[in-house]
Amino acid sequence: MDAAQMGDDLERVLLTQDRILARVEELAAQIWADYEGKDLVLVGVLKGAVMVMSDLMRALPGTVPMDWMAISSYGSGTKSSGVVRILKDLDADITGRHILIVEDIVDSGLTLSWLRSNLASRDAASVEICTLLRKPDASKVEVQVRYVGFDIPNEFVVGYGLDYAERYRNLRDVATLAPHVYR
Ligand code: IMP
């Protein structure tokens, strides 16, 4: 779905598909250089990371396995609490392997900080994070993010995997929603 097909649901496009893809290619090149010769596993967090995972993987110049987790964080409305339940765990044993968590967005960072320590406790060789988007609040929590696509303002965004009530994930761009959508 393109922004033009969304009628008046959108407020503004923050990042176009072209900009996103160009940045994902840069991240892929950097990741490939950093993990050369290492046993790397990309771990995506369902469902938001689906788009960034698929573009990032295809931009890598060699083969890498992917695995997925589904977690639910107990929170009210659009804010997460950091209390997390695993709905789907990894298929792979990650002992001794280098894990790169692939995320769509880091907001408070609470979910990721929980996920990183959960994966580290399984004796992974390393656990790093790659996120397409980062909001300003992420700096308040002690979560080191190694690869960041874009720093964005503290606004609720949809598209490129990100949803509002399960909608708009298939928008190609990243955009803010018009106020009437929330009502
Ligand atoms: P955190 O624990 O606050 O960092 O929450 C991260 C999760 O909240 C993301 O994986 C998203 O699912 C969701 N989230 C945070 N900000 C947004 C947004 O602007 N749009 C859509 N989902 C968001």
Model confidence pLDDT, tens digit, residues 114-132: 999 999 999 999 999 999 9
Give, for ligand 1, the residue of 47, 68, 79, 105 to mutate: max count of ligand atoms closer than 8 Å to Cβ: 105
pTM of the model: 0.93
- Cβ neighbors of 129 (< 8 A, separation 6 or more) are 100, 101, 103, 106, 112, 116, 143, 144, 145, 146, 147
Residues lining ligand 1, Cβ inside 6 A = 48, 80, 104-112, 156-158, 162
β-pair partners for 133: 105, 150
Report residue 6's pLDDT band, with 50, 70 and 90 as the boundaries: confident
Write out the catalytic residue numbers: 107
Report the atom number in ligand 1 closest to the C-alpha of 156. Answer: 19
